[in-house]
Structure 1
Amino acid sequence: MSDRHDSSPKQTDEHKAINSQRLIEVTESDLPLHCPMPQHVDWNAHPRVYLPIESSGSALCPYCGTLYRLKGKPSGGSH
């Protein structure tokens, strides 16, 4: 009898959906924004980079190309 334990993380459907998105809507509770975000299964895929999203309402990760949009803020707007 083999009692083998798999220590690798299991990807749920929710995690797969989060990781496959290239556009992610975030809220003020996600600020300060950084990529990758903690809920990504591949959270260590590239160095953590903080993204300035507050003024424009959107930010693009220079490493993976994920576009983040701040909910409730017009994208690309100027003051």
Structure 2
Amino acid sequence: MTQLQENTRSQIEVEAKDLPLYCPMPDMVKWNAHPRVVIPVGNTGEALCPYCGTKYILKGGPVGHGH
């Protein structure tokens, strides 16, 4: 069983495999968390949660879109 993490980190690095990204993340304690919200980190490589202010940084930068 995975240990749940308190929502105390102000900056979290994520990987492309974590997309689409939501805050709070699945491994965070939810009893005192805000509503689940999509974090658009793939567009710019970083984004802030509008509820808690956690900064998410995408390792490797923005995700490219092939056309």
Q: Report the TM-score, using the length of structure 2 for normalisation.
A: 0.76
Q: Structure 1, unaligned stretches of length 5 or more?
A: 1-11, 75-79
Of residues 24, 32, 55, the one that matches 2:20 is 32
SS of 1:55's partner is helix
Paired amino acid for 1:24: I
User: Structure 1 residues 46 and 25, CA, compared in 2 at 3 Å: closer, same or farther?
Assistant: same
Unmatched segments (≥5 aa) in structure 2: 63-67
Tell me: CA distance 1:58–1:43, structure 2 relative to 1, closer, same or farther (3 Å).
farther
Q: Give aligned-pair identity as a percent.
A: 58
More strand by share: 2
Match of 2:65 in 1: none
CA–CA separation in structure 2 for the residues paired with 1:54 and 1:15:
23
- Determine which of 26, 30, 37 is the counterpart of 1:42: 30
The separation in 2 between residues aligned to 1:44 and 1:30, in whole angstroms, is: 22
Larger RCO: 1 or 2 (CA < 8 Å, sep 6+): 2
The number of aligned residues is 60
Give the RMSD, CA atoms, in angstroms: 2.0
Within the candidate set 45, 60, 63, 2:48 is matched to 60
